[in-house]
Structure 1
């Protein structure tokens, strides 16, 4: 059985179209109650500046603070959603109804009594000023919901995994070497001949005179995370990438794909590298393209490198890319790539 309850409050915020007139720290508060929980306060900071939150005080983002003043629910999750209404078309001869222009959703740990959760960057102030001001006001809906889970969890079925292991054992025989993974040295048994067939690096390790050719337990000679190395093994045995639910330690998929591209370069598995590059490109955005460029350049993926540079060189993209955290990281740590990008932009503008 699951216990679910939720409610919304509406903020009508005085807001000039230029975004001026509100100082950082300006706050609007409303109380919210549902299903017996009457002690919630939602505080809206149109230009950031929530107490104790440096990131929220940049003046460029609307921040929200959720304050739990008296409710307590164990084994629960708190769901938050904010919606900014787009009514920019109301200036037309025939006004259109309000539509959902911007949304922000997140799943949070349920805070203890008297605690608060601050979301410092819910919406960009410039977006609200450009698209959501009607008669000097912006309408923002903020909602909370509680989902209390059944306390008796059932682990995912291992039926398909167990059958695949049986199939592998019948096809290749018993494993003849194991890799020690992570800080707890968990052993992952594998077949030398399978690894040799799929990677020239493994072939050099296991078929030559290197010590690895006879040792029964090995530790990967690199610093890739266990989730990355397990993804390499999955590709070796099944010729596919892991699905989201198969990724250990809940590593974000974009981070796994980047590390997997690096591992493919390490093990000289060119097709795997291109498979990762293709997936990274399919989901590329102004937020992710900078670090994708770094991985493509460092780990010799020319196709992804060229695609990222072409994406970033477009003026409409570059204006947004340049203010992201990943671009700042790239400029600070790998200025040579920034110079390559600048040269490309200058060449296209000649």
Structure 2
């Protein structure tokens, strides 16, 4: 018997609501000359089109109704269309900026031709008499009828490029270059290494090319660190079992040595996050050696306290710092005043 779930077809549809937005500015000059036009009488803007429909701003200098006693002006949006849904605002601007910003746009439906929507109490006449010249701006969005159509379901899987490269590194198929590191041999693909590292590019294809060497010797590096370097080159990530504090000095050195800026920044961040009394001296030495500005700044901020510097001087890391970077010790630990 067939599995019921396997017989279910997956379909999809989508509802789309199109909108069209436009802005029209209606400039009014010499308002004082319009006062006295009469309640219920308006001056209109030119007709403008938004969303395929025609619109007009109607401004009532003495208001649109007697109930306001002529104290307020009125403004409305007029349409000759029917069955049109919109959102709009009517704002008033003076030359020096907005003086009346009305509430957020609300939806209205012009169900029949000749309807108007707007504001009976727009702005007090007394305020407009002081301005005399101003602009009424209509921001209008026409909302079309929603429509639904079928959508074919295409599930796009996430990128697994890094998995393919990791598999290629692991199986060694197509490898064309060998490295000897601490007695261990690593197979790799020259084009991948060159694409990721300017140093490998020069070493494998440039003036540093070792054309006759069957296996390139890598000195002063642990096999585990070189393995981690290759893993990063192929996948742009670092395995959790290799991305640990004990490996950071070696990884930072490898990243700096082969021009791997992203890996260098990752190592710098890892060292930054683990700064303590016990680790700051070693971190400062690494920062100085590999020109890690952010890491060095973080170490110096940590050492800004005289008590912290005193505690750091008692650690093994400080003893190593005295040997590897005596100038740093003289500059930052032997100063009588606290660090800035």
- In the superposition, the TM-score normalised over structure 1's length comes to 0.46
| Max Rg structure | 2
- In the superposition, the TM-score normalised over structure 2's length comes to 0.47
